[in-house]
Structures are given as C-alpha cells and as structure tokens.
Amino acid sequence: MVEALTCLGFTVNTDKQTAQITVKGESGRIPNHSGDLFVGNAGTVARFLTAALCLHRGGKYRLDGTEAMRERPMQGLIDSLKQLGARFTFEKKDGHFPFAIETQGIKEGTWVVDATASSQILSAMLMVAPLAEATVEVVLQNKTVSKPFVEMTLNMCDHFSGGNAAFTIKGDNYKTISNKGYSSSSDNYQVEPDATAASYFLALPIATGGNCSLKGFKKDSIQGDVGFIEVLKETGIHADFTSEGAYTEARSELEGKHFDFNDISDTFLTLAALAPLLEGNTTISGIAHTRKQETDRVSAMANEMRKLGQEVLEDDDSITITPSLENLRRKALEGVCIDTYHDHRVAMSFGILGSADVRGNGQPWLTVRDPMCCAKTFPNFFEELERIRLVSLAPQ
C-alpha cells in the first residue's frame, strides 16, 4: 500500500524503528493522474485502492497482482465502480487483474453493492462515499461475509469525520450524512494490535499446555476477530481479559464442537490446525468465501490434515475433522512436511500445531515449507514463536 501511494504521488514516510507511518493528506485528491500499480497478493490493498482511484476525475491507472491475486474475486467491486462511470479494460480475464481503469470521479446517487464474495468490497465503497459530490446511499445487495469488518470500517469513517457519524444506517443501507470529506482530529492515530495474528498465540496453550498473555489486547476492540476468544472458551480453554490484555490457559480436557466462523473466518485455520488435539469432531462452517482468498483455504486445510492422518470431510461451506491422536503420533515419528500454498495463515496455523510435543521427547516433528509467506502480515512470526519457547524453558 505504501508503494502504491508513493507511486500515486503521496508523501509517505515510514519509520520501522518506531513502527510509525506518516502520510501527508491531500483532501481526497490523488496527485498523479496515472500510474502502474502492483498490489501483490493483498486483497485489502486491491479493493481499497481500486475504489480510491475513482476519486480522480480523468485518471488512468493499471493494476496487477500475483498469480494468486489474479484469481481472487473483484467483480462485485468492479460492478459498483462502473456505476460511478469508471471504465475497465481487462488484459486477461474479465473481472480480474490485471486491468486498466479510467476514472471519472465519485458521483452522488444510489450505489448498489454486491459484497457476497468479500466484505472488503463494501468497505471500499463506504470509505469513498463521504468524498462524493453530493449525498450517496450505499445499498447492499444480498448479505456480506465477515460483517464485523464492515463495522470496523464505519467506526473509522466516523473517527475521521470529526467524531461525527459519517452515515445514517437503516438495515443494510448506508446514507452519507455530509460530504465534507475527512479530516484528522489529531496528528496520531493508534492502530490496534492485530486480533487475527493474536489468535495463534491465544490458541498456543492447546498445543503446549500452560498459559499465554497478550499485552494491549482489549475486550472492546473494534476488530471482530476478538470473537475468537469465545471460540476458545467453547473448547474448554480458560480465557479472559485483564487490565493489561488477554489471557488464555489450557485445561485438562479440550473438545471440538460445531463453530460458525462466518464473522471471523480469518481465524478458522487456527482452530482447524489444532483440531487433532481436541476430543471429538470439530466442524467449522460459514467459510465458503475463504475458498477465494490467498488460496482455497478449506481445501488447503483438508489436504494438510489428511497428511497428519486425520479423517476430514469438506463441503462448499464447511470442514469437519475427526481427530486421531494415535495417527498424529505415528505421522510425527515419520516427520510431516506441510505445504503452505503461499498462504500466511496456513503457515502460522501449522506453526502452532508444530509446537505440540507430539513425539513426547521435545523433538521437532513438523516442517513448514515456505515459512516466510507469513511476511505478508507477520514477518517475525517464527522468531517470536522461538522467543516464547525459550522464555518458557528459562528457570523461573
């Protein structure tokens, strides 16, 4: 995203030492009228950036991504932006990257949005709506997935609307209150700790026993994935929030159940990878849309679970894992190599499972291919996992 904004003429400074990014705002104006932009395999960048480009009247931009990004759904967003007068030219497959977009500004009126494939499509349209020429009503066609992320978007829009509501909301219709654009109420905006990344460490006691504390993680987080803690409680993990953050602790008997992950689908892989360590079947539903993310995540998890000697049933919207600890131990003695499908969440989820002492002698048994695909969201994940291991071994 930083590279794309810089290409578009925005002044962006990053300081890795302090983990700060400074962006010079342009009041909804895009400095450069053209650009060749690469979004990698980041669906968030792809959707938010494509919608934002439409702010420029008379712009022409080319966008592309990785081979995996070229397969990810964009049609719902493209159809919405065509309503604003945007014109698309597809180089390979209609509705997919790579494409060129000619932009005509943000027009007022009623925008019909189909976000069944990704909540990011709706979020992208909501973020640009307050910058339209006049009042906009965003009408959601059908339902969207991962709705808590839409709530997060609305909270952000409100925050940068001077603390006032940016929209009136009636059901799935969102109407802009004013079209004064956005302004920063202060020089600094504190980004919350990543609730999805937190899921791996919150679930770590399932694999290792003991307990884990995460500082700065709050119950009133605006992120929907904080709901993963409730899933952990259902398995039998003791989980709570303290004044410092979140806390999880393993109990003797942990069990699998049926869970609907539609609202928190990014975290379903965390639980699925640990299902062999739970008593009874684990069924995870509401995840059909994850088949069109970085990879087909349902099939990816099914494939790798079978490598571990687990019985797996999958359909379009769910996966059921029947655990066999005996088979897991047998496979662990042979050594298991996990494919990640270039998906950061597959890599990190199986990193947590691999922390379990399945062999009973403290020796490693699980290899993760292409572990640095996790650099997309958590570059030092495995270093952090190793740091925690060493801390746990240190004398108290």
Q: What is the dihedral of CA 48, 216, 242, 381, to 10 degrees?
A: 80
**Cβ–Cβ < 8 Å for 2, 11:** no
Choice among 114, 266, 339, 370 that is catalytic: 266
Amino acid at 121: I
Note if 266 is an active site residue.
yes
Cα separation, 10 vs 19, whole angstroms: 19
Spatial CB neighbours of 374, under 8 Å, sequence gap ≥ 6: 344, 347, 348, 351, 381, 382
Q: Which of 181, 80, 170 is nearest to 129 (CA)?
A: 181
**Cβ–Cβ < 8 Å for 203, 247:** no
Cα separation, 190 vs 238, whole angstroms: 29
For 119, which DSSP code?
A: H
Please give the sequence-ordered ranges of beta strands (E in DSSP) within 39-157, or none if there are none.
57-64, 87-90, 99-104, 109-114, 136-141
Cα separation, 313 vs 322, whole angstroms: 8
Q: Which of 283, 279, 239 is nearest to 260 (CA)?
A: 283
Cα separation, 71 vs 118, whole angstroms: 14
First and final C-alpha spacing in the chain: 43
Helix-strand-coil split of the chain, %, nearest 5 = 40, 25, 40
Rg, Å, the chain Cα set: 22
Cα separation, 141 vs 157, whole angstroms: 21
Rounded to the nearest 10 degrees, the angle between the axes of helix 75-82 and helix 43-53 is 10
Cα separation, 115 vs 191, whole angstroms: 25
Could you give the C-alpha distances from 190 to 49, 88, 186, in angstroms and in order? 22, 36, 11
Q: Which residues are catalytic?
A: 266
